[in-house]
Amino acid sequence: MKTLSILTALAAFLVAGCAATSNAGGAGADEKPFGGPDSVDYAAALWKQLNKHRLVGPAAILGKHYQGVHPHGTVLDTIEGTVEVGGHRGAVIVKRNYGGEAVSIANAANDPDKYLQAVTVMFKREAGYDAENKDWFWAKYTPAGAVMDNPKGVALAGRVAKGKQQGCIACHKAAPGGDLVYLHDRY
């Protein structure tokens, strides 16, 4: 009898535990457009590859610094590459966002680590990931590679802010050319 109730309690605990885990990123994390555990894990795997290819991290190759526009920061540099994540190879665009007091093109170029505030990335995922938005995976990282949250505490990774009035996708939809990329000629 006692064993049975322990088992029942254990089963209830396990079910509750699983529910808590899958709710960590909100209900039905897998179907969430962004911010769920799958998206955050994918962002971590992507960062690893970017680091390996020196597109981010301490040994990153930097692009030419230029004056930024809202919302990406005062000074920016952007580079492109191709990386593989989980067996899928795709184009990637990495934009570093510099800011802070006294930031300028010259000092961001001379001492990038001091002024780097965030790294925003667009990675072309497999067809069908987000067909209506050109299958881009969006992510915003700290300079050290942790996914950043929006003001509501939702991780900025995945189809970021899909269906919302503001955010990566909404704003990038206005980019000329229909592929959600603004600056083709800059880098």
Residues in contact with ligand HEC by CB under 6 A are 68-69, 71-72, 76, 78, 93, 95, 120-122, 138-140, 156, 160, 167-168, 171-172, 175, 181-183
Closer to ligand HEC by Cβ: residue 103 or 121:
121
- Least gap, CB of 16 to ligand HEC (angstroms): 33
Give the three-class secondary structure for 184.
coil
Burial 101-130 (b: 16+ CB within 10 A, else e): eebebebbeeebeebbbbbbbbbbbeeebb
Residue type present at position 153? G
Provide φ and ψ at 90, rounded to 5°: -155, 165
Closer to ligand HEC by Cβ: residue 134 or 140:
140
Closer to ligand HEC by Cβ: residue 31 or 55:
55
- Least gap, CB of 40 to ligand HEC (angstroms): 14
Q: How far apart are CA 174 and CA 18, in angstroms?
A: 40
- Least gap, CB of 131 to ligand HEC (angstroms): 19
Q: How far apart are CA 47 and CA 63, in angstroms?
A: 18
Distances (CA, A) of 90 to 45, 137, 164: 13, 10, 26
- Least gap, CB of 89 to ligand HEC (angstroms): 18
- Least gap, CB of 15 to ligand HEC (angstroms): 35
Distances (CA, A) of 33 to 45, 81, 99, 106: 18, 25, 29, 38
Closer to ligand HEC by Cβ: residue 14 or 183:
183
Closer to ligand HEC by Cβ: residue 67 or 87:
67
**Could you tell me if 158 and 36 are in contact, meaning their C-beta atoms sit under 8 angstroms apart?**
yes
